[in-house]
């Protein structure tokens, strides 16, 4: 795999893939309500053929396989070898016959044709989203469906914005970023998503907001939950990128600032951060 998505391919085979793999159970637990809502919107039926785009460690791939049953088929495609490896282990352990392809969903052969193109947070990383979605649509049946979940704006997602706010006075100012650059918030703008999907040939595009708190950290006490939340945030997610390359002293001060911000959201058994997504549906 190489080409326009090379930077993302390196990230998801490097630090991004390693930390998502290490925290797979925790992340799946955190995203459970989001999975459920996206799968409900996908209206999966027994016997269908489904492509799970950017399937990662396979949580939704396995759920989809259970929903389509033995008469259907599910293919997961992802660029990340470590995450697909985890998906393979889980599928084997569950005795589920899913196909897992290590490939760039933007331009690799995808098999099909599929009744449903599905994704949980796996489609915001394409360098050329119109080309990628045009390619994906070609793998769908003429009356096939698209259903995916993506994040709304960082400002509506405390898990994304809070570390930035907490570190504002500690870190040198970050260079301005292009809000449409590949990354978790690339599909935050409703108009942009509509334009991309319509340019790729999808019809009846609809975006519905979905909000639920994300639980960071667990513990028997508020302090233990806070420690756990901080340990998680330091290993996976936006804080890791903010702290990359900084010395130990700054890291210590930064983590203290994030802990103080988390403390405002801590309950007796966890830290709960606001999260806001779109559920996007369309016809191929």
Residues that bind ligand SAM (CB under 6 A): 5, 8, 12, 54-57, 59, 77-80, 83, 104-106, 120-122, 125-126
**Is residue 143 a contact partner of residue 284, using CB atoms and an 8 Å limit?**
yes
Spatial CB neighbours of 209, under 8 Å, sequence gap ≥ 6 = 152, 276, 277, 278, 279
Spatial CB neighbours of 132, under 8 Å, sequence gap ≥ 6 = 105, 106, 107, 123, 126, 200
Least distance to ligand SAM, CB of residue 250, Å: 27
Tokens in use for 118?
Answer: 């599905």
Least distance to ligand SAM, CB of residue 58, Å: 8
Least distance to ligand SAM, CB of residue 90, Å: 11
Tokens in use for 204?
Answer: 């009846």
Least distance to ligand SAM, CB of residue 124, Å: 8
Among residues 9 and 226, whose Cβ is nearest to ligand SAM? 9
Spatial CB neighbours of 283, under 8 Å, sequence gap ≥ 6 = 143, 144, 145, 146, 202, 203, 204
Among residues 120 and 137, whose Cβ is nearest to ligand SAM? 120
Among residues 146 and 266, whose Cβ is nearest to ligand SAM? 146
Least distance to ligand SAM, CB of residue 80, Å: 4
Least distance to ligand SAM, CB of residue 34, Å: 8
Q: Measured between alpha carbons, how far is 222 from 10 in angstroms, rounded to an integer?
A: 37
Among residues 38 and 257, whose Cβ is nearest to ligand SAM? 38
Q: Measured between alpha carbons, how far is 137 from 205 in angstroms, rounded to an integer?
A: 13
Among residues 126 and 185, whose Cβ is nearest to ligand SAM? 126
The b/e string for 178-208 (b: 16+ C-beta within 10 A; e otherwise) is eeeebbbbbbbbeeebbebbeebebeebebe
Among residues 59 and 254, whose Cβ is nearest to ligand SAM? 59
């Amino acid at each position: 795999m190489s080409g326009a998505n090379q930077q993302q391919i390196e990230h998801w085979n490097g630090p991004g893939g390693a930390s998502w793999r290490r925290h797979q159970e925790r992340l799946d637990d955190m995203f459970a309500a989001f999975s459920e809502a996206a799968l409900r919107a996908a209206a999966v039926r027994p016997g269908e053929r489904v492509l799970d785009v950017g399937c990662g460690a396979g949580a939704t791939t396995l759920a989809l396989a259970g929903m389509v049953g033995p008469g259907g088929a599910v293919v997961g495609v992802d660029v990340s070898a470590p995450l697909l490896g985890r998906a393979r282990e889980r599928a084997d352990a569950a005795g589920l016959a899913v196909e897992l392809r290590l490939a760039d969903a933007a331009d690799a052969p995808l098999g099909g044709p599929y009744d449903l193109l599905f994704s949980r947070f796996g489609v915001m990383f394409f360098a050329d989203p119109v080309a990628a979605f045009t390619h994906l649509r070609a793998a769908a049946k003429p009356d096939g469906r698209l259903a995916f979940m993506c994040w709304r704006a960082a400002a509506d997602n405390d898990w994304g914005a809070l570390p930035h706010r907490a570190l504002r006075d500690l870190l040198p100012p970050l260079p301005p970023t292009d809000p449409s650059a590949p990354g978790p918030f690339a599909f935050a703008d409703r108009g942009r998503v509509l334009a991309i999907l319509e340019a790729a040939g999808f019809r009846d595009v609809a975006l519905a907001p979905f909000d639920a708190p994300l639980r960071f950290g667990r513990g028997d006490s508020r302090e233990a939950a806070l420690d756990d939340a901080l340990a998680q945030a330091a290993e996976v997610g936006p804080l890791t990128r903010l702290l990359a390359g900084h010395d130990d002293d700054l890291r210590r001060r930064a983590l203290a600032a994030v802990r103080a911000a988390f403390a405002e959201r801590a309950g007796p058994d966890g830290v709960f951060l606001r999260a806001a997504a779109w559920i996007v549906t369309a016809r191929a």
